[in-house]
A and B are shown apart, each in its own frame.
Chain A
Amino acid sequence: MKKRLGLVLLISLAFLLSFAPNLCAEVGVTDTEIHLGQWGPQTGPAAAWGNVARGTRDYFKWINDNGGIHGRKIVYHMFDDGYNPAKTKAGVKELQEGTGMFAWACGVGTSPGLAVRDYLAKKNIPWVGPAAGSMHWVDPPQNNLFAVYPLYYGEAKALIKYAIETMGKKRIAIAYLNDEYGKNGLRGALEELKAHGMKAVAQVSMENKDTDLKPHVMKLRQSKADLVLMWTGVGHSARIVGISKAMKFEPQFMSTSTTSDFPFMMHITKGLWEGVITGTLGELPDSGYPLLDKYKEEVFDKYAAKEERWGVFYYAGILFTEPMIEGLKKTGRDLTRENFINAMEQIKGFKGIGPEVNYKPFNKNDMYSRQGASQTFLVQCLAGGKAKKLTDWMSIK
């Protein structure tokens, strides 16, 4: 009887021990895999930025085919949220609580990101490189959230500063999308104007679903602005420029880095985007920057779908996740969320294809402990969608 009981106990113990590594392991990490999630609008009003997620996907494939990270392959889970925050929230919860993600990469959009920010923060699930330059990621900073995208707020300041100090513009109007993305840009622009003792001659807001923008452009025209800063979506920006030109209202246009894919903007405006100045978030596609050329050759040419185009948004999907990969490499084989966050905090002076990235140990009073990049440079669209560099990388803190 005793022998039998002993045998049962031994088998039970062996059975339990067989689960031990998994019981101790981090969610989304196995001996051979790291599960990373991402949302990205493949449909809906922000679908033009859908290639961010596709860029990340191809980058992760390239990493896997080059041996993975410390013996583990990345298992990438992407879903289409259609830029709808309700869908983002549902999708993230489903993947997190169903499959179990170790961390989240990128994720396009301020509003979709805001829908899951607190959920991820509460569970301390790492989230690296939201594909939006919102203040909401870092003000106040969150322990789990590492921002890469330079802040819209700072980018708007840099654009306005250039408009006033270098171009000598006196009458500046602002067109913005009436959401967090638009308001972040508006805030930066207004503060920079105030710093120069100026005010916006017009502030014109629009909704995501607005398609008739003639009344908005009339407001801008009435203001007699000599420069219009647009913090709107791709389609809206294209229409504002097009309608303005049709109305013979031709100020200098400036726009956010989200419209810096010049070949695409030239295509949808039928050439009217020429002359527009934008901020940018990474090296230019034709800059000859060695690492960018390497990605073009080894990631894009090899893994991208036939209809995919090598452009800013596509490789932004790589740019936003480079620091995450760096963090995973620094963490080593003992991959837990705590170790990963510690490793991310060690990243200093990291230079991929975007601005320099620096993090610090978490400090709730210092947003730059979690805002990795604080640089941009300004570019102007030339004929054929080429870009002219107007400034070097500059700090926008």
Chain B
Amino acid sequence: MIDLIQMIVNGVAVGSSYALMGLAMVIIYKTSEVPNFAQGEMALISSFFAMMLLTSFNMSLYLAFFLTFVFAVLLGFFLEFAILRRAKEPNILGMIVITIGIEMIILGFVSWKFGADQKTMPFPIGPYDSFIIGDIFVSKLEVLTLVAALLLMTTLYLFFRYSKLGLAMKATQQNSVAAQIVGVRTNRIMMMTWGISSLVGAVAGLLISPTIMQPFMMWDPMLKGFAAAVMGGMTSLPGVIVAAYMLGIIENLFGGYISIEFKTVVAFVIIVLVLCVKPSGLFARHYIKKV
């Protein structure tokens, strides 16, 4: 019984980083219907930027993180404004390829600039500091990640539901021409979306960095975040959060009771199953364009 509870707790813990990456992907998808495969590397470069501020410029953690969030938002603005907006006659496939290109460029840049040696980011909470409740172990860093994921999800949910900008973002996704007609500056909305998404990704990156930092550190969270986003429905913020935690728990139970060897592929089996059985995801309500 203790093992079962521990596996569920582990699943929730690891699900938080999937949730943050999934959220970041969903934000862009909600407005552009483009899965952003550069999401992991955008978080990566923000994390290394923070590391540089902390170690090379000896900044305090709060200042370094604040500047990193500013950097992440500007990075999102820049990528949308300088690259994606310049795409000629863009279609979804073309945009996906562009995001893959951006991913490769950032990965190469980070490897070149910061080196590929494994590092850890200085952080007040150690990666292996934990609470022990009875026989159950919970990492403090993962509790922080969980809190961050839930806070961000709630904030974004309220933002999309009640703020003018959030509604404009929704409108841009549902019908960008109609949104333009009623005065929504869709280009600016897209840029904001990329900025916010990049910020959410940066939070995920910063919370992974105290454990390990190397150029490929965001691959697994990004792929699992993508799996959670697909499972949750790509447009539903609560959906991606629930799916991310489900994914984390399923992975852990599968590893514990069925096969540790095949634990890694569970996420991808889920993507295939969801796409075959319920392509719109488990929780999304897709807006249907009426002609």
A267 interface hit (Cβ, 8 Å):
yes
Within 8 A of A (CB), among B82-134: 111, 115-120, 126-130, 132
CB within 8 Å: A-B pair count: 98
- Report the separation of the CA atoms of residues A243 and B255 in the bound assembly, to the nearest whole angstrom: 16
Q: A184-220 toward B: CB 8 Å interface, digit per residue (1/0)?
A: 0000000000000000000011110111101110110
B14 interface hit (Cβ, 8 Å):
yes
Q: CB-CB < 8 A to A238: which residues of B?
A: 118, 212
Q: Is there an interface contact between A44 and B7, defined as CB atoms closer than 8 Å?
A: no
- Report the separation of the CA atoms of residues A50 and B117 in the bound assembly, to the nearest whole angstrom: 8
Within 8 A of A (CB), among B19-50: none
Q: CB-CB < 8 A to A272: which residues of B?
A: 128
Identity of the chain B residue whose Cβ is nearest the Cβ of A205 in the assembled complex: B261
Q: Is there an interface contact between A239 and B116, defined as CB atoms closer than 8 Å?
A: no
Q: Is there an interface contact between B220 and A211, defined as CB atoms closer than 8 Å?
A: yes
Q: Size class of B's contact patch?
A: 35 or more
Q: CB-CB < 8 A to A247: which residues of B?
A: 130, 137
A178 interface hit (Cβ, 8 Å):
yes
Q: Is the interface of B mostly helix, strand, loop or mixed?
A: mixed
Q: Is there an interface contact between B132 and A248, defined as CB atoms closer than 8 Å?
A: yes
B174 interface hit (Cβ, 8 Å):
no
Q: CB-CB < 8 A to A214: which residues of B?
A: 10, 13-14, 252
Q: Is there an interface contact between B13 and A209, defined as CB atoms closer than 8 Å?
A: no
Q: Is there an interface contact between A242 and B120, defined as CB atoms closer than 8 Å?
A: no
A48 interface hit (Cβ, 8 Å):
yes
Contacts A214-B252, A218-B7, A270-B126 given; indicate if A47 touches B118 (C-beta within 8 A).
Answer: yes
Q: Is there an interface contact between B116 and A246, defined as CB atoms closer than 8 Å?
A: no
For the complex formed, measure the closest distance between the CB of A225 and the CB atoms of chain B, giving whole angstroms: 15
- Report the separation of the CA atoms of residues A141 and B13 in the bound assembly, to the nearest whole angstrom: 48
A380 interface hit (Cβ, 8 Å):
no
B214 interface hit (Cβ, 8 Å):
yes
Q: How many residues in A have their beta carbons less than 8 Å from beta carbons of B?
A: 38
Q: Is there an interface contact between A215 and B7, defined as CB atoms closer than 8 Å?
A: yes
A275 interface hit (Cβ, 8 Å):
no
Q: B124-152 toward A: CB 8 Å interface, digit per residue (1/0)?
A: 00111110100001010000000000000
Contacts A209-B220, A218-B10 given; indicate if A48 touches B260 (C-beta within 8 A).
Answer: no
- Report the separation of the CA atoms of residues A50 and B111 in the bound assembly, to the nearest whole angstrom: 12
Identity of the chain A residue whose Cβ is nearest the Cβ of B214 in the assembled complex: A47
Identity of the chain B residue whose Cβ is nearest the Cβ of A247 in the assembled complex: B137
For the complex formed, measure the closest distance between the CB of B249 and the CB atoms of chain A, giving whole angstroms: 11
B221 interface hit (Cβ, 8 Å):
yes
- Report the separation of the CA atoms of residues A47 and B215 in the bound assembly, to the nearest whole angstrom: 10
Contacts A48-B118, A218-B6 given; indicate if A207 touches B264 (C-beta within 8 A).
Answer: yes
A-B contact pairs, 11 of them (CB 8 A): A42-B111, A45-B214, A47-B215, A212-B14, A212-B220, A214-B14, A215-B256, A216-B260, A235-B214, A246-B137, A268-B120
Interface residues of B (CB under 8 A from A): 3, 6-7, 10, 13-14, 111, 115-120, 126-130, 132, 137, 139, 211-212, 214-217, 219-221, 251-252, 255-256, 260-261, 263-264
Interface residues of A (CB under 8 A from B): 41-45, 47-48, 50, 178, 204-207, 209-212, 214-216, 218-219, 222, 234-235, 238-239, 242-243, 245-248, 267-268, 270, 272, 307
**Given A47-B118, A211-B220, 8 new contacts (CB under 8 A):** A44-B215, A50-B116, A204-B260, A215-B7, A235-B118, A246-B130, A248-B132, A268-B120
